[in-house]
Amino acid sequence: MNNLKHLVFLDIETVSGSSSFETLAPGMQALWEKKTTFLRKDDEIPLDKLYFDRAAIYSEFGKIVCISVGILYHDADDQLNIRIKAIRSDDEKELLEEFVALLHDKMDETKIQLCGHNAKEFDFPYICRRMIINDIVLPPYLQISGKKPWEIKHLDTMEMWKFGDYKSYTSLALLTEVFGIPSPKDDIDGSDVNRVYYHEEGLERIAHYCNRDVLATAQVYLKVQGHTLITEDHIQFVD
């Protein structure tokens, strides 16, 4: 089993960079139209709706509003615990700098092993790109550009569950259901985040959802590794 003290479970929540297509700079509007040509079938989907619904998944057109981080530790009774913190802000650069500072203060950055669900495809590269856009130097654990797959030690619970099978995507919600783990989708899911952020000013609600995703990812990791799940009284959410 991997060294638990170096594991950092994380999940990000992203939204469109602007509240609407109309508020984008003209150059970005043109680039969005070009980017999404393949998504629009005979102009059936209006550009403004497509932007609001899909821009968040593209790091060039979206931004991060929350990163939740979970760290495992053993208490005095040698019981496994998890401490989870949601870093959230409307100011993306501030959020990313706080994320880097947190891990710098709490961990040995040269040994950190990140773990997320579908994170190799989404969360890790998205964070890297947004850091570069925000002129933030990538910390050692995110200096992964140009490395061969076997040189990157980070973990992905979706990849772990595939056991070498490349046929399909398996959602975190499905795995929690299969394993009898409380679902992180008890309030909203990813498709709701943009609406909750821009129309309801629901950043705290998004942070709660992001925290639950991190907890679910950690539990799935432990289950796949054959370890006992963390009980409710050993889960700590911190401000």
Q: Has residue 2 got a pLDDT over 60?
A: no
Domain 4-17+61-238 has CATH 3.10.270.10: no
pLDDT of residue 43: 62
Q: Which of 93-107, 127-141, 152-166 has the lowest mean pLDDT?
A: 152-166
DSSP 60-91: TTEEEEEEEEEEEEE-TT--EEEEEEEEE-S-
| pLDDT tens per residue across span 7-29 | 999 999 999 999 999 999 999 99
Q: How confident is the model at residue 94 (pLDDT cuts 50, 70, 90)?
A: very high
Q: Residue 125 has which token pair? A: 């590269």
Q: Has residue 92 got a pLDDT over 70?
A: yes
| pLDDT tens per residue across span 184-226 | 777 788 889 999 999 999 999 999 999 999 999 999 999 999 9
Q: Has residue 168 got a pLDDT over 80?
A: no
CA distances from 191 to 55, 57, 184, 215 (A): 12, 10, 14, 20
pLDDT of residue 1: 46
| pLDDT tens per residue across span 25-51 | 999 999 999 998 887 776 678 889 999
Q: Has residue 166 got a pLDDT over 90?
A: no
| pLDDT tens per residue across span 136-161 | 999 999 998 888 877 888 999 999 99
Are 166 and 181 within 8 A, CB to CB? Answer: no
CA distances from 37 to 21, 31, 47 (A): 15, 10, 10
Whole-number Å distance between alpha carbons of 69 and 87: 8
Q: Residue 104 has which token pair? A: 């710098």
